Structure 1
Amino acid sequence: MPFKYQILAAELQAEITKGTFSDKLPTEMELADIYRVSRQTVRQALEQLVERGLIEKRQGSGSQVLKRARTRGEDRIAIVTSYVNDYIFPSVLQDIQAILTAEGYSTLIFSTQNKVTRERSILQDLLHQPVGGLIVEGSKTALPSPNMDLYEKLDRAGIPVVFLHGTYRALPGALCVSDDNYGGGYLLARHLIGKGHTKIAGIFKSDDIQGHQRYLGFLSAMRDAGLSIPDERVYWYTTEERRYLLDYGHTDLLEHFRQFYLRDCTAVICYNDEIADRLIRYLLSLGLRVPGDVAVVSFDNSYYSDLCPVRITSLAHQVGKLGGIAARLLLDHIEGRTCQSQSISWRLIQKESG
């Protein structure tokens, strides 16, 4: 539980950011009266604001609000991701916040649910109440976006932006921190080929750019091995189909995949552990053996990979890398340093499913 002075410091910081105090704060006595706390609590709160670079205490002039603290919301960083509380997102957000907080920034977190309409609403709000920078996971990045005008406005407003996981084809020069999804798809395919599989199916996400990159790696590895991937072995699913499967338990997607795409294949590469876990459970319910009848491999090495009845062979993120690199890249961008996009390699974690 935070101390009183920490709560007061947070409230005063919010008021400074909103511009309530344009040049200087009320006196210690006035603040004590306004917030019904002791003068000692006020002094401790003001010391916090001094440490954060928000105010300067001047003899005889009180607490002056520094220019940097009240222009463009520069002390706030917005983080926009598809989801916040599930799958791999909590750890990524933690890594970002740890670095930004250590540098004196506060963070605003938004979730789009991978919907372009929600993404648009959030970006519009950020343009009206600007921030010092933005780390964003675009919505449905494999598709043309109706929100390019807002990203262009952010650029014209001088707000630094770093994309997470992938970016839009319409923004080829955008700064982005992502996993090496092409390399990951290649690595998983080579792993299965090395185990003797020649007929390998795939199930990938159609509306996020990561799905296309992972598929391309898979395709390249098969081609390099002299193997083909007929169209009927690759199934593409959307954000909405994912929601029906994960939130409502509808297995139509899995049944359609098994019946028309899996057929005589002996292995499957899944877009991520969410899908791999559901697929394995479905195959087991039909009496099939994993990996005896069908080997299943995946991406993310998330908690799903260990909770699944057959532990999933999956590619692991480098711990602390993705979010940490994104945060540092944004800080460099804010400071005007030379920046370039970064791609992070995967590590194969061999378990039981393939």
Structure 2
Amino acid sequence: MAAKYQTLAETLRQELLHQGQHGYKLPTEQELSERYGLSRQTVRHALQMLEQEGLIQRRQGSGSFSTGRGGSTSRQVAVVATFLDDYIFPTILHDAQSVFAREGYSTLVYATENEVSTERDILQQLLSQPVAGILVEGAKTALPNPNLQLYRQLRDSGVPLLFLHGACAELKGVPCISDDNYSGGYLLARHLLDKGHRSIAGIFKSDDLQGPQRYHGCVSAIRDAGLPLRDRSFLWYDTQDRLEMVNLNDISLLRRFLDVRLDKSTAVICYNDEIAFLLIRELLARGVRVPQDVAVVSFDNSYYSQISQVPITSLRHPVPRMGQVAAEQLLRMLQGESGHSRALPWELVERASG
């Protein structure tokens, strides 16, 4: 059974929904106490709850006023992802939704397909139909964002905004929950160096911030080992290339990498398990042994790393996982706390690939 203050808070939410407009004044604490036969302390607790949710502003000596966010979406959180069918997103969404649901929030889920035009449409919708808070995986975070002004409008409207995986570089003051990608790249390269590899290649994604960060860690470890950096040994691909590889089974890009760029490299660091899986399949089809001839390592520790013909050495996050961390952070922001960025550490799961 809900506590009395929670029941009153829900009643007042419905009143705010019915009234709708910004600036609507709620009855005083005394009036509410008398109307519902509750103590002033219970009424005050309910009003504090509504204030933390951003539904009302309490003005000393004047009363409690609607912020205009008391509509039907006031207990909804928007989660904006790049791809809903991305192999890591279902776990992130499940973890986040579980946290939100425990606090009485439902979840609206959107996908941009990592296109800034679709992202723009979604942001405009969220401006016209406000939600309690937004957890967003920005589109093409390694590139300048043409939707910066929309993000600023959302931030300035008072809707708590939290980035996932990569922040919009031009938007200051908005926190982000991300992977510690530099350290992850360094860790994988260091692992291969410790195995005796002295010529390491890499495949990284160019239009999402994680790619340059992971590359940076990788080449920093190679540099710190006193080994030469060979630019031609690194392949960059973008979102369209990824769709062609995964959806159309067009791996011509990987074949050109093996034909032209791999050269004498004995190990490859891949942007993620998805690419590592495809690369290992092509290597084996060519009669190249993994890891005896070429070691392959990657990020995410997903099911790809376990169903691969050669199980993949990959990085994973220790618990708590990203979806839980992000949802808990956004809930704290909904309660009026300042948001803080956090980069989650990686740990190595060593398997047969390298």
**TM-score if structure 2 supplies the norm length?**
0.81
1:245-292 deviation line (CA, Å, top 9, x unaligned): 000000111111112211110000000000000000011111111111
Q: Which residue of 1 aligns with 2:228?
A: 228
Q: Which residue of 2 aligns with 1:151?
A: 151
Name whichever of 83-92 and 235-244 sits farther off. Answer: 83-92
2:16 and 2:343 map into 1 onto residues whose CA distance is 37
Q: Which residue of 1 aligns with 2:189?
A: 189
Q: Which residue of 1 aligns with 2:131?
A: 131
2:317 and 2:203 map into 1 onto residues whose CA distance is 20
Indicate the RMSD between aligned Cα atoms, in angstroms: 2.4
Q: Which residue of 1 aligns with 2:218?
A: 218
Q: How many residues are matched?
A: 302
2:321 and 2:87 map into 1 onto residues whose CA distance is 17
Helix, strand or coil for the counterpart of 1:107? strand
8 Å Cα contact 1:165/1:179 also seen in 2 = yes
2:94 and 2:316 map into 1 onto residues whose CA distance is 17
2:311 and 2:15 map into 1 onto residues whose CA distance is 48
Q: Which residue of 2 aligns with 1:199?
A: 199
1:253 and 1:229 map into 2 onto residues whose CA distance is 22
Distance 1:73 1:222, change over 3 A: same
Once the two structures are TM-superposed, the CA of residue 317 in structure 1 deviates from its matched residue by 2.0
8 Å Cα contact 2:99/2:328 also seen in 1 = yes
Once the two structures are TM-superposed, the CA of residue 171 in structure 1 deviates from its matched residue by 2.2
Q: Which residue of 1 aligns with 2:35?
A: none
Name whichever of 231-240 and 73-82 sits farther off. Answer: 73-82
Distance 1:206 1:18, change over 3 A: farther
Helix, strand or coil for the counterpart of 1:298? strand
Q: Which amino acid aligns with 1:302?
A: S
Once the two structures are TM-superposed, the CA of residue 70 in structure 1 deviates from its matched residue by 2.6
1:100 and 1:246 map into 2 onto residues whose CA distance is 32
Once the two structures are TM-superposed, the CA of residue 156 in structure 1 deviates from its matched residue by 1.5
Once the two structures are TM-superposed, the CA of residue 71 in structure 1 deviates from its matched residue by 4.2
Q: Which amino acid aligns with 2:331?
A: L
1:17 and 1:270 map into 2 onto residues whose CA distance is 54
Q: Runs (4+) of structure 1 moved beyond 4 Å? A: 15-19, 66-69
8 Å Cα contact 1:72/1:130 also seen in 2 = no
1:48-76 deviation line (CA, Å, top 9, x unaligned): xxxx999xxxxxxxxxxx96983483211
8 Å Cα contact 1:17/1:73 also seen in 2 = no
Distance 1:129 1:284, change over 3 A: same
Q: Which amino acid aligns with 1:209?
A: L
Helix, strand or coil for the counterpart of 1:135? strand
8 Å Cα contact 1:329/1:339 also seen in 2 = yes
Q: Which amino acid aligns with 2:335?
A: E
**TM-score if structure 1 supplies the norm length?**
0.81
8 Å Cα contact 1:95/1:320 also seen in 2 = no
1:270 and 1:157 map into 2 onto residues whose CA distance is 40
Q: Structure 2 unaligned segments of length 5 or more: list them.
A: 1-10, 21-48, 54-64
Percent identical residues: 50
